[in-house]
Amino acid sequence: MTKLRLAAAGVNQTPLAWETNCNNLLAAISAAREAEAGVLCLPELSITGYGCEDTFFATGVQETALEILAEIVPQTQDLVTTLGLPLAIDGQLYNVMALCCDGKLLGLVGKQHLAADGIHYEPRWFAPWPAGHVREVSIGASAYPVGDLLFDCGGVKIGMEICRDAWVDDRSGGRLAARGADIILNPSASHFAFNKQEIRREFVLRGSREFHVSYAYANLLGNESGRAIFDGGTLIASRGEMLAAGARLSFADWVMATADIDVAASRRDREGASRPRCDLQSLGGATIEAQCTFPPPTAPRTATRPAAWDASPASKAEEFSRAVPLALFDYLRKSRAGGLVVSLSGGADSSAIVTMVWLLVELAIADIGREVFLRKLAHIQGLAEQPNNGALVGRLLTCVYQRTRNSSQVTHSAAVQVTKAVGAEFVEWNIDNLVDGYVDMVSQATDRQLTWKQDDLTLQNIQARVRGPGAWLLANMRGALLLATSNRSEAAVGYATMDGDTCGGLAPITGIDKAYLLEWLQWMERAGPAGAGPLDVLAVVNCQEPTAELRPPGEHQTDEGDLMPYTVLDTIERAAIRDKQMPVEVLQTLEARFADYSQTQLGHWTERFFRLWCRNQWKRERYAPSFHLDDENLDPKTWCRFPILSGGFDRELADLRARTGADKQE
């Protein structure tokens, strides 16, 4: 058999959700069989879930994973399938992929290169499998080969690069090709980041071309364990040509791509290629032979193509508009929260979150249909009775406007209009009496009246902080999840009131900078994602200058007035935090980009950023979980570690002041 159908499937798994994970895998296997595929690639650690964290060490988890594997293996008749799980051998834990064929387990391949950067901590749990090494392991009453394996399945040789194994310079695929691989499978758990799919496309294409093989890539899908988002991307290439690409960022339990490949053609390419000879024995590893059969497809099948929005490359706005709603949807259903609550100020941040919930409903129903949508959220009472999408938003989302004497009619009107446009429930109340009560209580206790002249920040913070209990109370009444509204720019400099606007169990936009968020809201007003269209009511938000509305109206408070222009702030953040530049280097970066500002002004903003960054690490440690969206995340638990106490860059800031001739800032 030289021609066969290759399939790759992404599955939406949950750590330790054994039945759900098993059912998703069986559904994907069944769909591949119905599609008359001969080989199916499923993602890594798909039996347990990728994000099990330290429970990987639990013997019970390891044993249950093997039990689930034993349940699935008999269901692989007429199909070659990969299944991912942790495997303990002599006190070491390995990330392995089992390869099954015709209802039998043939062996297990160990991951050689572990992801240890960014949000990945694989070396904490797993040991890397040494290249070329093979041994036996007992599973139940049988012994199986495990390690650096190539499988000869009915004359078709199949190897695996497990996720990171394909991202390194010394790819294991090259050694597999030298040993005669016809097909290389890449089972992955590769987190979402903007434009990352283009990198995947490149290594899949390059692997198929340089190794003279057919290459299939399968990724996990959805918000698996809280912070990371997986896009479920599936890619199939052969001989340097992309044959198929499946749906990404889908709300379904699984997605699949299929394409027909010609093994004989790739072998001819390999035989005709000019390349140095190598000593196969020196490569190590082993080839496992099995008498597998691949029933030929009864009819041609059109290769899978991505959605129109996912053209290469997909725009950042489209990806953002789909990744966050999918993550919110999965968080809502997997946490079994009874709905969502947002403290809606009428400004950009909270309005962006409301928009994301609206997109959650619009995109999910367009993708999986109303019936499946309702089934996935069946735990939410009253949802099924809602007659249309707007009513569904109304049942899922409650927006609360918490007015003070410093609030404006502009933000109130914006909050009302945005809520009405998306169909959410709107409630409002005035918190002045609560704020005044706290101020009077402390003033009397300390025998000093608090004033704006002496206590500006204190009086601002109490307003934001008093909003917290009411929002929590409303969320508790509804059994709902309270969404915090802070963005990444504010997190970087601590421009947020702890236990105030940071209140919430989830912070959906803390992974994105304010400058981009403002840009995205403009895009949502004008265009919006394919299939959902624009939300033109956002004009009432986009016409405003961002403000916290915590000072008296006569002060004309604005966020940028309190801090600096957001474009400058975000440039400093990237240079200082992502690129690890020191203050003088950051100043040079700013000078090259912002010629309209003086060196003194840019130096002032640079010093302000560094001082606020160091002073507010404790706040970032306490932020609610947020979604990972790019390589500029500030989450100290998964991406960007920084000491809570530090020297505050005093020496480096002194160098900065010497360069600009500025006085020391407080």
C-beta atoms surrounding 165 within 10 Å:
26
For domain 3-310, the CATH class is alpha beta
CATH classification for the domain delimited by 316-557, as one of 3.40.50.1950, 3.40.50.620, 2.70.150.10, 3.40.50.300: 3.40.50.620
Instruction: Write the DSSP string, 522-588.
Output: HHHHHT-STTT---GGGHHHHTSPP----S-GGG---HHHHS--HHHHHHHHIIIIIS---HHHHHH
Instruction: Output the pLDDT for position 273.
Output: 78
Write the single-letter amino acid at 563: L
Q: Which residues contact 78 (CB under 8 A, 6 or more apart)?
A: 33, 38, 102, 293, 294, 295
Instruction: Output the pLDDT for position 233.
Output: 95
What tens digit of pLDDT does each residue of 533-577 get? 899 999 999 999 999 999 999 989 999 999 999 999 999 999 999
Q: Which residues contact 171 (CB under 8 A, 6 or more apart)?
A: 161, 165, 207
In the Cβ-directed half-sphere of 302, how many Cα atoms lie within 13 Å?
Answer: 3
What tens digit of pLDDT does each residue of 641-660 get? 999 999 999 999 999 999 99
Nearest to 627 by CA among 523, 483, 530: 483
Domain segments of the chain: what residues? Answer: 3-310, 316-557, 564-666
Instruction: Write the DSSP string, 435-484.
Output: HHHHHHHHHHHHT----TTT-HHHHHHHHHHHHHHHHHHHHHHHT-EEEP
Instruction: Output the pLDDT for position 24.
Output: 98
Instruction: Output the pLDDT for position 471.
Output: 98
CATH classification for the domain delimited by 564-666, as one of 1.20.120, 3.40.1000, 3.40.720, 1.10.10: 1.10.10
- Flag residues of the chain having pLDDT under 70: 1, 274-282, 665-666
Instruction: Output the pLDDT for position 275.
Output: 64
